[in-house]
Amino acid sequence: MNAALPIPGLQRELGRELRSASDQQLSRVVAVVDALPERGAADALIAPVRARLAQLRPDRPLRLSRVLFTPLNAVIVATVKWRPASISVPRSALDLLGKLILAQIGTLRSELETVASQRTSSDATAIQAIGDVLWPAAGRVLQELDMPGNWTEQTGLQSRVWHEIRDGAAVVLNRAVRIEEITHTPDNEELLQSLLKDRTGCNDAGFALVVRVLLVRHPRPTDLLRTLANLRHSGAATATEQAISATLDDLEPALEQIETADPTAAVGQAVQLAMMFDALDTPTRRTHITALRADAARLCQERLERTVQQGLLEPLTATSSPSSIDFPAIETTARGVRKLGAAAQRLGGQRSLERFMQLSVTAILALDSPAIDPVDRIRLLEILVGPDAALAYARAPSQP
Amino acid sequence: MIMARSFALQSPYHPTTFLERGAAVPFTTPLLAGARVRAAQRSGLELVLPNPGGGKGFYVLPWTGVQEFCALTLHDRQLQDRAAGLQSVTPSGIRQAAREIAANGYAGREARDAATRAQRQATDDQLATNYYLLLILVSQVEQSALANMQERLPQLEMRAKRAVASIAPELGLEPDFVSTLLEELAVLLQGIGVGPIAAKALLPRALGNLVALRRDLEQWTTSHNDDTSELADIIGVTADLSIGCAGKAIADVRSSTEKMSVLLSRWRTEPQALSSWVARPEWLLDGWEPICLLWSEASTVATRRAALREMIDLVPILPKEVGDWIGMAEQIEAVNVYKRFSTLNRDWRSGLPVLDLVEEGASQACALDRVARNERLRALAA
């Protein structure tokens, strides 16, 4: 493996230092690593603090290698957890595959690198715009790649799994732009059907990988499963079942995201899980789903509590000056609270939801009048409890 | 279901006049995308709404009954009330009402700031239009070129007074009344724009945005070989016709200032007819702004494809009246038929089924995002 420092003791020592570093120090270290032309060993250095980085989410320069495998995010697993035919992609394969692909896309690489160099990792639109061009090109290159001689040395994976990983990743990359479109237009069944019926270069394992990606990203998983059930091609039912099992067996990262990701991502994940559990809740899976629901509901409620407190109540009560309140940001948080509440409700956390909504409404109504414009106030109530309830609160002579 | 009780589905729908088609209303409630308001046959107003299922036909419902159809945002309730008080339904009247509501903050702070800026801009445009109408009048009376009119204000004022005094007897009016007529004409023509800053006026800018959209759609059609290429083509065909008609209508109205005495006389004697004629460009462009904004807001392939699917159901139907306006009745009919048949059975309009919006908890998430997106569009609107 090239991802190791020449002196193991030094690596351990640096790892310890990093683990005890403050958030600010850690962000600075990551910035230095990001600026290196060759990351190799430095990447290994920050490996032990990846979980903290995921929580910290420092804004990093956008790199093509980061954009390249974004469509596979939902199915990437740690190599130690990866098993053949597990409808997933081992993380250690990505670095090598990325280098091989980027080396073969010709001038496109420098063109896209120029675009990426002006953007950061939090710029979702830039990632998608670059991906529109990069993903199809990468898919074409990847599906024709021969196994490199240093495959096992670089990835720690056996040569017999090369085809499974290469083909699966290529299938998803070749369909990435359409998958993105489907997530934006979930009611377009025609588009979904055409994607699922397209078996070009796609064996059953690749198909299962596509289904798994869709399952964790499609805003209406029930519609997805219905469309899958109506597919006539052989192997579709088995692949779907495999994708569902793989998804349910590997929900730890998704649950962790509710807890640690930035509010927008956490809310998105909670809503997605709620919808997915609804779609997958069949008698045969009920016990498993019920347990997962309970876990997710608990995390949602904890996150809801934190978001209401830190994102709504604290900023609103911290000042009496209307100009110092960032209302667009607070409204975004309020939307997140409402969505998280809806997800929690769907997952079974009804009581907490009502309590937090009531807390938020009470706090907003109790704010001193100079601190908040009446229209801002009623808009916040509208976002949290809907227009009718907002009007009722606003017209009520006394606070609830 | 409420819809069955209160609303009549009318299909096929091909209005004869723009008044029958109604003016586009920038509601933020997702289910009301593409809604228009028009005067009802007897009294009051009606809402004309594209079939929420995306299929053929339109719903027509009493303006006061909109809240039975779906839960309106607070912004939309305010807008509904304000529109109900309008004496006549025109695109500019609805735009003004929407700006006032947005300026009060009901579509959020960004839209509030944008509406406040737009209101200030409208006042400036009106003053500038009045100024250039006066300059045009002076140039016509003195038979001098407009370009030579750059001089100090007191001298210009004197010449303007002389020009007004000179033309007043021809119109059979007192000079003061001519000045008043010019101010009224400035209100009427500010959206069209006159003089050297004409291109910056509201409607020429809207036309420019539509031309840019048309260009982009053409490029999309040639570079994408899928169903969205067909959608882009359909939108483009209608856009082409609107561009041609609106461009001609704007040019016609502007050319009316070439004889200011005739324009002033006509404004004095037949204000209603002149108002209707000057309003043609805004009717022709009405409804295109949200379409252009949806497109410009989408910057990636996936979001542009999604935008095209949303745009196709918002494309304004051109009433038969346009054929009389510009003498292209057959072409108008062909475009509308093309559009009607091409959009048949498309079941996606807002991306949000009715039930999800009003009943289901987790799907409120989508509705919230869509309202936020619509509010963002309000902030970008003119």
pLDDT for A37 equals 63
**Cβ contact, residue pair B364, A275, below 8 Å:** no
3-state secondary structure of A77: strand
| Closest Cα in chain A, distance from residue B60 (Å) | 24
The larger pLDDT score, comparing residue B227 to residue B371, is at: B371
What are the DSSP calls for A81-131, one per residue?
A: G--TTSSSEEHHHHHHHHHHHHHTSTHHHHHHHHHHHT-BTT-HHHHHHHH
pLDDT for A5 equals 52
**Cβ contact, residue pair B300, A271, below 8 Å:** no
pLDDT for A18 equals 76
pLDDT for B348 equals 28
Lowest mean pLDDT among A303-307, B191-195, B275-279: A303-307
Average the pLDDT over B316-331 and give the result. 76
pLDDT for A153 equals 94
C-beta neighbour count of A267 within 10 angstroms:
28
**Cβ contact, residue pair B365, A339, below 8 Å:** yes
Q: Which of residues 168-187 of A touch B (CB under 8 A)?
A: 177, 180-181, 183-187
- Supply the ipTM of this predicted assembly: 0.82
pLDDT band at B314 (very low <50, low <70, confident <90, very high): very high
CA neighbours closer than 13 Å in the CB half-sphere of residue A284: 4
Each residue's pLDDT tens digit, B123-136: 999 999 999 999 99
Q: How far apart are CA A359 and CA A393, in angstroms?
A: 13
Over chain A (400 residues), what is each successive 10-residue block's mean pLDDT? 55 74 73 68 70 68 91 93 94 95 95 90 88 96 96 95 96 95 84 90 91 92 92 87 92 87 85 90 92 91 86 78 80 89 81 73 75 86 90 69
Closest listed residue to residue A1, CA positions, set A36, A37, A47, A56? A47
The tokens for B105 are: 């903050």
Query: How many CB pairs below 8 A link A and B?
Result: 101
pLDDT band at B335 (very low <50, low <70, confident <90, very high): low
Q: Which of A317-321, B39-43, B177-181 has the highest mean pLDDT?
A: B177-181
**Cβ contact, residue pair A129, B300, below 8 Å:** yes
Find the length of chain A: 400
Residue B147 has pLDDT above 90, yes or no: no
| Closest Cα in chain B, distance from residue A263 (Å) | 14
Q: How far apart are CA B241 and CA B253, in angstroms?
A: 18
Q: How far apart are CA B336 and CA A16, in angstroms?
A: 70
Q: What Rg, from alpha-carbon coordinates, does chain A have?
A: 23
Q: B357 to chain A: nearest residue by CA? A: A386
Q: Is A32 on the interface with B (CB under 8 A)?
A: no
Please, which contacts does A189-198 make with residues 24 or more away whose CB atoms are closer than 8 Å? A189/A223, A189/A227, A189/B347, A190/B227, A191/B227, A192/A218, A192/A223, A192/A224, A192/A227, A193/A227, A196/A227, A196/A228, A196/A231, A196/A236, A197/A231, A197/A233
pLDDT for A187 equals 78
Of B73, B302, B362, the CB nearest to A128: B302
Average the pLDDT over B32-46 and give the result. 92
Cα distances (Å, whole numbers) of residue B289 to A177, B3, B206, B285, B356: 28, 28, 7, 8, 28
Asked if residues A34 and A60 have their Cβ atoms less than 8 Å apart, the reply is yes
**A chain contacts of residue B104, beta-carbon cutoff 8 Å:** 375
Q: Is A382 on the interface with B (CB under 8 A)?
A: yes
The tokens for A168 are: 């699966």
**Cβ contact, residue pair A387, B351, below 8 Å:** no
3-state secondary structure of A332: helix
| Closest Cα in chain B, distance from residue A195 (Å) | 12
Average the pLDDT over B142-149 and give the result. 65
| Closest Cα in chain A, distance from residue B112 (Å) | 11
Closest listed residue to residue A257, CA positions, set A208, A216, A318, A203? A216
pLDDT for B160 equals 87
Q: How far apart are CA A24 and CA A30, in angstroms?
A: 10
Average the pLDDT over B268-295 and give the result. 96
**Cβ contact, residue pair B109, A327, below 8 Å:** yes
What are the DSSP calls for A243-285, one per residue?
A: HHHHHHHT-HHHHHHHHHS-HHHHHHHHHHHHHHHHHH--GGG
Query: Is the Cα torsion angle B354, B355, B359, B365 positive or negative in sign?
Result: negative
The tokens for A321 are: 């000056």
Closest listed residue to residue B78, CA positions, set B23, B22, B24, B27? B27
Closest listed residue to residue A298, CA positions, set A249, A340, A253? A340
**A chain contacts of residue B106, beta-carbon cutoff 8 Å:** 375, 379
| Closest Cα in chain B, distance from residue A337 (Å) | 10
pLDDT for A306 equals 87
Q: Give CA angle at B326 (B277, B192), nearest 5°.
A: 40
Q: How far apart are CA A338 and CA B185, in angstroms?
A: 49
**DSSP secondary structure code for residue A159 in this structure:** G
**Cβ contact, residue pair B365, A271, below 8 Å:** yes
Q: How far apart are CA B125 and CA B382, in angstroms?
A: 13
Q: Is A198 on the interface with B (CB under 8 A)?
A: no
Cα distances (Å, whole numbers) of residue A320 to A100, A224, A362, B156: 57, 49, 17, 52
Three-state secondary structure string covering chain B: CHHHHHCEEECCCCCCCHHHHCEECCCCCHHHCCCEEEECCCCCEEEEEECCCCCCCEEEEEHHHHHHHCCCCHHHHHHHHHHHCCCCCCHHHHHHHHHHHHHCCCCCHHHHHHHHHHHHHHHHHHHHHHHHHHHHHHHHHHCCCHHHHCCCHHHHHHHHHHHHHHHHHHHCCCHHHHHHHHHHHHHHHCCCCCHHHHHHCHHHHHHHHHHHHHHHHHHHHHHCCCHHHHHHHHHHHHHHHHHHHHHHHHHHHHHHHHCHHHHHHHHHHCHHHHHHHHCHHHHHHCCHHHHHHHHHHCCCHHHHHHHHHHHHCCCCCCCCHHHHHHCCHHHHHHHHHHHHHHHCCCCCCCCCCHHHHHCCCCCHHHHHHHHHHHHHHHHHCC
pTM over 0.90: no
